[in-house]
Amino acid sequence: MGYYDHFDASTDFRKHPEKYRVGRGEQGVLMVEPYKSEILPHWRFKTPEIAKVSCQKISEMFEEYRKQDDFVGMDMARKYIQMGYTRARRYANYKGGKKYKDADKTERHDRQIDEEKAASAQIFKKRWDEIREDEDYLSRKKAHQKQYG
């Protein structure tokens, strides 16, 4: 059971940032509102051109959340950028994005590199790396974790 499993789907994390936990990786990316509804419509990676527009828009949202002193929004934008990388990478490595042949996840498909998806992944990876080195973001993250856990 994940951290966000016990929240009511109607929780507004903008109004209740104390309920937000940074979590690992992309945890909570499809559950934390209103951010999911704001960011998800812009998240795309089918081609490098689409990924570039998507990454730029989500980066702009990250900066707007920063201006609003909204760490939860910043972190959610970071998660979508990270997920842009990981999902595009998965689709770059495995046709249809399916890594395993079976539900038990014991037998993997052979890797078939899709250069277009790999290029999409790199667009998101570059921005994700920038965010992970952003001193302001990191200090806000540390402050949020110290204050709320």
pLDDT in tens, 60-114: 999 999 999 999 999 999 999 999 999 999 988 887 777 787 888 888 777 788 7
Give kind and range of the element (H or E) at residue 54: helix 48-67
- Provide the pLDDT for residue 91: 87
Give the pLDDT mean for 6-22.
86
What is the reported pLDDT for 10? 85
Phi-psi region of 93 (alpha: psi -120 to 50; beta: other; left: phi over 0): alpha
Residue 81 near residue 58 (C-beta atoms within 8 A): yes
Q: What's the rounded mean pLDDT across residues 47-52?
A: 98
Q: Note the pLDDT tens digit of each residue in 32-49.
A: 999 999 999 999 999 999
Q: Where are the domains positioned within the chain?
A: 3-99+106-148
Instruction: Determine the average pLDDT of the residues in 112-135.
Output: 94
- Specify the pLDDT at position 141: 97
Please state, rounded to an integer, the average pLDDT across all residues of the chain: 91
Q: How far apart are CA 6 and CA 131, in angstroms?
A: 29
**What is the model's pLDDT at position 7?**
62
Model pTM score: 0.89
User: Distance (Å, rounded) from C-alpha 105 to C-alpha 110?
Assistant: 13
Half-sphere exposure (Cβ direction) of 9: Cα atoms closer than 13 Å: 2
Q: Across 1-149, where does the E strand assignment appear? A: none
